[in-house]
Structure 1
Amino acid sequence: MPRSLDGLVLAPVADQAPGQVGTRTRFTYHEEDGAIWADYAGGDVVRGHLVGTRTGDRLDFRYVQLKQDGTTSSGHCVSTVLALPDGRVRLEETWSWESQEGSGTSVVEQVTEHDR
C-alpha cells in the first residue's frame, strides 16, 4: 500500500473546466486511522474541504468548496492511491457533483517544496 497521505500537498496535473479546481489549486491532506481530510484553495477555489475514508489504496470522500464568484458546490469522489516511480503519490479520481450536473475524472500528484 502506498504511504500515508498525512501532511502531503497535492495538485491537479491538468486544469478542469472554468470555476473548478486547476493546476493552481493545492490540497493539503491529513490521514489518521482510516480517516482522511484535506483543505484546498487556489485558482477559482477560495476555500474547499474534503472528508472521507481510506481503505487500502482506495479513498472515498465528499467535498465542498467556495468559488471566487461566491457560489458553493459539493460532490463525491472515489480515488485510487498510487506510488509514482520517483516516490511521490498520485491519486486517480472519479468524481461527480451532487450540487449540480456533471462528473468526470482527474489526476492529482504530490508536489515538491519547489512547486508549492
Structure 2
Amino acid sequence: MTAAPTVPSLDGLVMAPVEDQAPGQVGTRTRFTYHEQDGVIWADYAGGDVVRGQLIGTREGDELDFRYVQLKTDGETASGHCVSRIEVLDDGRIRLRETWEWESRPGSGTSVVEQVTPDL
C-alpha cells in the first residue's frame, strides 16, 4: 500500500536552496520549478553556476526519489540521484530535506530547499 501524502501537490512551486553548496554547484541563486502529476515529479532549474538542469522521479507519500542532470557555466555536465523528504514550515511553505549523491563523479551530501514566495 502506498503511503498517502500529508503535503499537497508540489505542482507549480518554486524552490531554492537555503545555503550554497560547494563552489560550482547548486546554490541560493538557483531556482527549481516543480511539477507533479499522478505520483510523477519533475523540475527545471537554473541560476548561479547552473545554466540548466532537470530532475525527474517519483513521489510516494511525502518522499521524492529522483535523478538529476545539469549543465554548469563552465560547460561541465553532471548527474546524480536524490531522495527528499517533504516538510511543511510553520508559515505554510514547503521544505525539502535532501540526501544526494553524484553518479557522474565522486561526492554526496545533504541539502535543504525551501519554497520561494514572491515579494509583495
Alignment TM class, shorter chain as reference? over 0.9
Aligned residue pair count: 115
Render the CA deviation track for 1:50-101: whole Å, top value 9, x for unaligned: 0000000000000000000001000000000001111100000000000000
Corresponding residue SS for 1:5? coil
Distance in 1, Cα, partners of 2:102 & 2:109: 9
Distance in 1, Cα, partners of 2:119 & 2:47: 16
Structure 1 unaligned blocks of 5 or more: none
Q: 1:50 aligns with which of 52, 55, 69?
A: 55
Task: Kindly report the root-mean-square deviation, in angstroms, between the aligned alpha carbons of the 2 structures.
Answer: 0.9
Query: Which of the pair has more CA radius of gyration?
Result: 2
Question: Does the alignment pair 1:65 with 2:70?
Answer: yes
Cross-structure match for 1:6: 11
Instruction: State the identity %.
Output: 77
Question: Does the alignment pair 1:28 with 2:33?
Answer: yes
Distance in 1, Cα, partners of 2:88 & 2:38: 20
Question: Does the alignment pair 1:92 with 2:107?
Answer: no
Which residue identity does 1:76 align to in structure 2? Answer: H
- State the TM-score, normalized to the length of structure 2: 0.94
Which residue identity does 2:105 align to in structure 1? Answer: Q
Q: Structure 1 residue runs of 4+, over 2 Å off?
A: none
Q: 2:117 aligns with which of 90, 112, 115?
A: 112
Q: Offset of 1:114 from its aligned partner?
A: 2.0
